[in-house]
Structure 1
Amino acid sequence: MREPKRYVATAGTIEESLAALAKFPGMLSQAFRRWKRVRMIIEEEPERRSLDQNALQWKWCSDAAKQGDMDAEDYQAFCKLHFGIPILRRDSEEYREAYDRILRPLPYEQKLELMKAPFEWPVSRGMSKKQLTEYLNRVYVHFTGLGFRLTDPGLKGIGPEQYREAS
């Protein structure tokens, strides 16, 4: 079994925090056995992407497939590689290191293939709501710049506080 790089407990309420605290003695024991010294940090947990945002990105790829020359999965792979990865590389040293070590040396066609099933290199699933909003803005600008018509986010139940169309 692979050892974790870190031990994490996330909470959104006081009750969840107290439940997480109950797990700390076990996590601390394991951490001290492995590392001898540990650093404990309490920080804000970024708001995760919404299911509506995720659905919208797939809807837009489907919209593009009906108007363009690729299928939805190919458009999704293109968007992940061209818009999502730059955001994650900018915001995460760990992600940047992994991408640069594993994918960056590969030919472009292989990178695109790795964005799709069965590999599905993780991109949007690890994004915060803010990052996915930026990603969706980039996708919107790209496709509408090519003349594609994309589904209005309001029709997907996404309010302007969750997604703002790029101007």
Structure 2
Amino acid sequence: MTLPKQYVSRASTLQESLAAVAKLPWILAEAITRWGEIEVIVRKREKHRSQEQNKLQRKWCKEAAAQGDMTAEEYRGYCKLHFGVPILRRDSEAFREVYDRLIRPRDYAEKLELMMEPLDFQVTRLMTTAQKGEYLDAMWTHFTGLGFRLTDPNLKGMDPSQYKEAA
């Protein structure tokens, strides 16, 4: 049987916290039985990327595909490799270790392929909302710098003729 690397409980209200604490004796006993020594950590939860951020990323990849020479999935893989990987390598020792061991030694074409479906190496799924915001900013800068027109997230629902022009 594969054991989990960690037990995680999230709470944002006192009631949720008390429910999590009620489970704690069993979790601690199970963890000590399985691993011997354990470490208990309480920290501020970092919220992960939002659905709106995901939708915007996908929309921009489709818009890039309509204007460029790659498919939306190829642009998604490109962005994950060029913008997402550096953010996560900078911010996560665990991500950096796995990426550097498994992906970094490969040639560029293989790295791009690993970022896309069907393998889809996790990058943006691991991001916080702040990291995903940084990622989207990098996408915006890159594509508009190439002359692509992307939907301005501040103009949700507006006609494409009203998109913000690249500066």
TM-score, normalised relative to structure 2: 0.90
Query: Shift of the alpha carbon at 1:6?
Result: 1.6
The correspondence of residues 41-56 of structure 1 with structure 2, limited to 5 A, is 41-56=41-56
- Distance (whole Å) between structure 2 residues aligned to residue 94 and residue 51 of structure 1: 25
> In the alignment, what sits opposite 1:160?
none
Give the AA of the match of 2:87: I
> In the alignment, what sits opposite 1:77?
77
Give the AA of the match of 2:27: M
> In the alignment, what sits opposite 1:34?
34
Higher RCO, Cα 8 Å, sep 6+: 1
Give the AA of the match of 1:110: E
Shift of the 56–76 alpha-carbon distance from structure 1 to 2, 3 Å rule, reads: same
> In the alignment, what sits opposite 2:146?
146
- Distance (whole Å) between structure 2 residues aligned to residue 20 and residue 106 of structure 1: 43
Unaligned residue ranges in structure 1 (runs of 5+): 158-166
Give the AA of the match of 1:11: A
Give the AA of the match of 1:75: Y
- Distance (whole Å) between structure 1 residues aligned to residue 108 and residue 114 of structure 2: 10
> In the alignment, what sits opposite 1:123?
123
> In the alignment, what sits opposite 1:2?
2
Query: Shift of the alpha carbon at 1:41?
Result: 1.2
Query: Shift of the alpha carbon at 1:140?
Result: 0.5
Equivalent residues of 1:87, 1:131 under 8 A apart = yes
3-state DSSP class of the match of 2:133?
A: helix
1:58-92 CA-partner distances (Å, limit 9, x unpaired): 00001100110001000000000000011111111
The correspondence of residues 65-104 of structure 1 with structure 2, limited to 5 A, is 65-104=65-104
Unaligned residue ranges in structure 2 (runs of 5+): 158-166
Q: Which has the larger radius of gyration?
A: 2
Q: Percent identical across equivalent pairs? A: 56
Query: Shift of the alpha carbon at 1:154?
Result: 2.3
- Distance (whole Å) between structure 2 residues aligned to residue 88 and residue 30 of structure 1: 32
The correspondence of residues 151-166 of structure 1 with structure 2, limited to 5 A, is 151-156=151-156
RMSD over equivalenced CA pairs, Å: 1.4
> In the alignment, what sits opposite 2:136?
136
- Distance (whole Å) between structure 1 residues aligned to residue 30 and residue 106 of structure 2: 38
How many residue pairs align between the two structures?
Answer: 158
> In the alignment, what sits opposite 1:60?
60
After the TM superposition, list the runs of 4 or more consecutive aligned residues in structure 1 that deviate by more than 3 angstroms: none
Query: Shift of the alpha carbon at 1:34?
Result: 2.4
- Distance (whole Å) between structure 2 residues aligned to residue 22 and residue 118 of structure 1: 41
TM-score, normalised relative to structure 1: 0.90
- Distance (whole Å) between structure 2 residues aligned to residue 39 and residue 4 of structure 1: 14
